[in-house]
Amino acid sequence: ITNENEFLTKTNLPRSKVYTWVNSDDHRLIEGILHYPPGKFEQKNLPLLVLIHGGPAAASLNLFPPIWYMFPHLAAVEGWLVLEPNYRGSSGYGDQFVSE
C-alpha cells in the first residue's frame, strides 16, 4: 500500500540475528541478539562488544528503534559485532526464567 521506508533499502545498515546457546551448567537454552557491522553478516573474527541490558526483569529485543538508545546499531556501524544476551532473569521467557 505504501513504501514509506524505501530509503532504508538504500542504506547500508547493520544486520541482526537471534543467536542461541546452551548453558553448560544446567543445559538451559539461552538467547541473545547479534548485531553485525554493515557488509559483514556472519563474518568471523570481528571485535566483540557484549551489551548487557538493565533489569532484573528486562530483555533485549530484535528490532531497530529510531530513538536515542539504539546503541547496538551505532556500535555495529563502527565495526563491532554486538551481542545482547538475554541472560537468566530476563523477561519474556516465563516466570521461572525470571526467578532463577
What class is the 6-99 domain? Answer: alpha beta
pLDDT single digits (tens) 47-76: 999 988 766 666 666 666 666 567 888 899
Nearest residue to 56 (alpha-carbon basis) of 25, 99, 20, 7: 99
The reply to whether the predicted model has a pTM over 0.95 is: no
| All structural domains of the chain with their residue ranges | 6-99
Residue 31 to residue 90: CA distance in whole angstroms:
10
Residues near 90 by beta carbon (within 8 Å), at least 6 away in sequence: 53, 55, 57, 58, 59, 60, 97, 98
Backbone angles phi, psi at 6, to 5 degrees: -55, -35
Percent of the chain residues past pLDDT 90, beyond the cut: 34
Query: What does the pLDDT look like over 1-31, one tens digit per residue?
Result: 677 777 767 778 899 999 999 988 888 888 8
